[in-house]
Amino acid sequence: MLKPDDLRTWLHQKNLRQLDKLLLVLATFDAPCAVKDIRSRALEGGLRIKDSWNPSGTLSKSNGLAIHDGNGWTLTEVGKQHLRNLGVQQLSPAAIQVANDLRAELPSIADPDTRAFAEEAIKCYEAELYRSAIVMSWLAAVDVLQKHVVAYHLTAFNSAALAADVRWKPAKTADDLGRMKEGDFLDRLVNISVLQKNVKTELRNCLDRRNGCGHPNSLKLGTNTVAHHLEVLLLNVFKVF
């Protein structure tokens, strides 16, 4: 949750309790750690943990923010959220700006359900729930596009869809558009000039990324990848439609 290189900055913030400092040190480990490891990592961050601190005793009274699982001390999800509430996160200033820009666009999303999806995507991103952020933001973006088609391009869309597939039953609502595969939907938007080909290519990449996040697998995502995903949707969907 916290890079060791950033630990020094956080450990020397004012008004931090002993417990908060110990949790910050734990946040730099990817696996359970012993007290000696906590002391060593804290020292690397410029903090010497005195014997009077009694790290084990302090962590055992943390009300579930940290636990000892038999192999060592580890930060719980509740503990991670506690640190997020203090402002600790992996997001860079540029990545935070993406979230702020997307949040600024929320009032322009007329449909309350779509707006709620977009807002939840932002919260997932800020909480470092990257898979959820990608899935939720994509669902919100598709909903915006579908509603735009229904409002302004439904006849042209149905004509293009029927030309591509004679089995297509003309859509009347956004829910009807949901019968079409999302990749095909993007293609039809190009056919009727709602999207340009280069924009479709970027959105198709977002769709592929969303599909990769929609079920358990070994896909790994970092802050920059998710920030790029959100920025593409922000610039090409939420700010446009």
pLDDT at 92: 66
Please give the full DSSP string across 184-231, using - where no structure is assigned. Answer: HHHHHHHHTTSS-HHHHHHHHHHHHHHHHHSS--S----HHHHHHHHH
Band (117; pLDDT cuts 50, 70, 90) = confident
* Mean pLDDT score of the chain: 92
CATH of domain 4-85: 1.10.10
pLDDT at 222: 85
- CB contact at 8 A, 23 and 58: no
pLDDT at 126: 82
Nearest-angstrom CA–CA distance, 52 and 215: 47
% of the chain surpassing 90 pLDDT: 68
Q: Where are the domains of the chain?
A: 4-85, 93-238
The pTM of this model reads 0.69
CA 177 and chain centroid, separation: 26
Band (103; pLDDT cuts 50, 70, 90) = confident
How big is the chain, counted in residues?
A: 241
> In this predicted model, what pLDDT tens digit does every residue of 165-207 receive, in sequence order?
999 999 999 999 999 999 999 999 999 999 999 999 999 999 9
| Strands 73-75 and 66-68, bridge-based pairing | antiparallel
